[in-house]
Amino acid sequence: MTNGISWISRLYRWKRRTFLMKLIVTTALIAVIPNLISDFIAYHKVSKTLERETGNTKLQYLNQTINAMEIILGRIQENARQLALSRAFQDFESFPNGSYYESLQGELPKEDLPALYSYLEEKTNAFLTLNAFKLSNAFVDSVYFYDASKRLVITSESDGSNRQFPVESFYDTGWLEALVEPEADPILMDTRVAKRFHSGQISVLSVIHKSEKGGNAFVVNLDASKMYSGIVNKLNDRDEIYVLSPEADLLFHSRRENESQTAARLIRESERLLGGTGSFVAETDEGLKLVSYAASPQLRWTFVNVADMQALAKGTASIKQTILISAAALVLLSFTLAYLSSRRIYKPISRLSAIVQGRGGAGPGGSDEIRDIGSFMESTMHERDFYKEKLEESLPFYREQFKTSLLHRHALRPEEIEEKKKYLGLTIDSRDLTLMLLDWDNGDPVASEQEMIRSDLFRIRVTETIKQSNVIGRKHFLVDTDKNRLGIVLNCGEADRQYAFQLGQRLLDRVSSEFGIAFTIGVGRVCPTIGELPRAYDEAVEALKYRILFGKGDVISIEDIRNEAEIEFVYPKEKEELLLSHVKTAREAEARQAFDDLMEDVVARKNKLHYNQIQPIFMRLLTELTTAFHQLGTDLRTACGLEADPYRELLNLDSLDAIHGWFHELIGQATAYIEREMNSKGNQHISKVIDIVEREYARDLSLHSVAEQLNLNPAYISRLFKQITGQSFVDYLKFVRIERSKELLSRSGMKVNEISRLVGYGNAYYFIKVFKEMIGLTPGEYKKLYGS
């Protein structure tokens, strides 16, 4: 009987072990089979993928080389242009009778000596400027200045010396034929062999920049071997790299050219390389080669990279071996984990069930992960309470933010507004609202931090005075709209419109007597719903602009300006803004055309409107022009030389034709004044802008903030900066920041996010994106290549 029980027990245990083994095998196979299949597929695709990715990598190197070459040549061309515009060469070129002084020989007449000394001094300055330009870039081998009128060439040569030659006896004339191209400037020649003064020759890339004086030109000879070793070979010294001209001439090439005749022949014979981008595998006498090519639209060159495929084959073999080893390790690991997980799969479940049912506590030999889960849940509850308290503390800020958003264009639906009102504790009704803007300043920008503090304190005092005065007896809320304006939104419908004006006057009396300065209130039309507050805000702002006509210290309603007949006329605000933009940037013809377009809208309605109803439209336009000149630091009457008050002159005009002619003359005078200001102050302003950028690039800098510092119009600064520097303000700011970041990356051990903050980018991901767009490398890749 005992033997029978023992046999049954062993059978039971065997059956249990059989089930466990099935569970282990099944779990392991489920984990292993998909991975083995994916490894098998990956092995067959890895060669093509590796080949494609290798080609992309080579193209990336080529693009980096192209970017570097374009940047270097772009800087040299820009420096050559600045050299041509330098005062030294302009004075030398325009010196009177220069050809005469060049031809003087033997004993010189005394009366010619003073002018001759001046001429020699100008020539000396030109030589010094030429030397300074040559030293500005390590790739410059020599620089020539060709003076067509004097038939001479002056040089700054590789040995640091300066010489002068008649053009007929000049030792290097390989660039003369390029000057006959009438439209090309600057001229980028193919590499050529240039003779040197003493002896020998050098392979150079010549950049020719024509002077503004007819026939004169600057010839900058760049050392081709230095450019290859310093740019092309420095970024990738493992492969053979060739640079081809649009005519398939070899501009730059590897020093290993003689060792790779097959690759060189492949490049010469492959027509699909020129002007294109891509990569392909070619079979040569030396074996398989990966040929990658990319074109530079700016230089019109094609860069070709030829890499040996043997390394790629070794990589494929190593990947195959890695896949086999990882598959074997995966099988072993899967069976091990399946065995361990199958034995303990139910223990965590039972423990969790005990916690849910209130029977918590670890069993013998059990782990304590559930206790950690419980502690985590408890800490989460405490954290929730903490953030709830912080949220209650921040409610005033969100309330002010919400009130401000109601006055501007938004996408909130009425039900969303009601929910936020309830949540933030705003008791004002959402219907029949009136908006008043209390203004106490002329809107001039605050000049210093101390004045900003005083302005904020003054605004707080005005707000507290209104709250304590109890003048507003209805439901309302106050909102800060600007540094010198305070918005007042109250429940006041069309039937109580007179109450709003009486309330506005009482408010003016209260704050004016308290602070002793003139305040003004602008009032928009009644808003049937809270969603129309942005329209009322725009109208109140517009009403405040008429302080110039009505004076300060009044309640100015938009309805006082827009009569009932005008309600049918939609004022062409976009055309007005276009007109002001053209006037501010001194574009007279465009400004007059914009006014003609605006006039057409008025003329189209003149049969339905009386002239006395049309006249306020032009009063509004004159007010906007006056405000624009006020923002530029002057007034319209002084700038245009008007003897009488322009508003009075406009009121005295009795026909649309007279108004049309009067505005045309006014626009011409206004744009002429701004153009004179731009010409006289342009270089000085841009020098200040560049100085601010180079000093304050680490701050949150923008065109508007710089214009505000200089008390200038942003559109004027933008146009002037582009005109003088040849690039936009944003591009120049990016250039300064990225150049500084490159110095930090190559000379310091700081992290990328630290460097991004130091150069003015609060978002490190955006900094990485801008850096890669400009340099062709990520900051991390650049640091690996050039870091100390």
Instruction: Give, in order, the Cα–Cα distances in Å from 79 to each of 134, 137, 203.
Output: 10, 10, 22
The residue with greater pLDDT, 345 or 93, is 93
**What pLDDT does residue 446 have?**
46
Cα 719 versus chain centre, distance: 16
Mean pLDDT along residues 333-341:
69
**What pLDDT does residue 360 have?**
46
In 3-state terms the chain splits into helix, strand, coil percentages (rounded to 5) of 60, 15, 25
Q: Which residues pair with 288 in a beta bridge?
A: 283
For 697-776, where are the alpha helices, taking DSSP H only?
703-709, 714-725, 729-747, 752-758, 764-775
| Range from 26-30, 339-343, 669-673 carrying the lowest mean pLDDT | 339-343
Average pLDDT, the chain: 76
Is residue 682 pLDDT above 70, yes or no? no
Among 372-386, 395-409, 751-765, which range has the highest average pLDDT? 751-765
Model confidence band, residue 778 (pLDDT cutoffs 50, 70, 90): very high
Mean pLDDT along residues 697-721:
86
| Range from 203-212, 498-507, 562-571, 665-674 carrying the lowest mean pLDDT | 562-571
Mean pLDDT along residues 571-600:
81
The residue with greater pLDDT, 708 or 198, is 708
Mean pLDDT along residues 674-692:
74
Q: Rounded to a whole number, what is the distance in angstroms from the first to the last CA of the chain?
A: 86
Is residue 149 pLDDT above 80, yes or no? no
Model confidence band, residue 769 (pLDDT cutoffs 50, 70, 90): very high
Model confidence band, residue 363 (pLDDT cutoffs 50, 70, 90): very low
What's phi and psi for 308, nearest 5 deg? Answer: -75, 130
Helix (H) or strand (E) holding 238: none
Which one-letter amino acid corresponds to residue 202? I
Mean pLDDT along residues 119-145:
82
Contact 775, 67 (CB under 8 A): yes
| CATH T-level assignment (fold) for domain 86-227 | Beta-Lactamase (3.30.450)
What's phi and psi for 378, nearest 5 deg? Answer: -65, -45
pTM, 2 dp: 0.38
**CA-CA-CA-CA dihedral for 652, 655, 659, 660, to nearest 10:** -160
If we measure between CA atoms, which residue out of 285, 78, 193 comes closest to residue 735?
78
Contact 435, 533 (CB under 8 A): yes
- The pairing of beta strand 217-223 with beta strand 140-147: antiparallel
Dihedral angle sign, alpha carbons of residues 686, 687, 689, 694: positive
* Domain range summary for the chain, segments of one domain joined by +: 86-227, 425-561, 568-679, 727-788
Q: Residues with Cβ < 8 Å from 577, sequence gap 6 or more?
A: none
Contact 132, 155 (CB under 8 A): no
Model confidence band, residue 549 (pLDDT cutoffs 50, 70, 90): very low
Tell me yes or no: is domain 425-561 CATH 3.20.20.20. no
Percent share of the chain, pLDDT over 70: 74
**What pLDDT does residue 771 have?**
93
| CATH T-level assignment (fold) for domain 727-788 | Arc Repressor Mutant, subunit A (1.10.10)
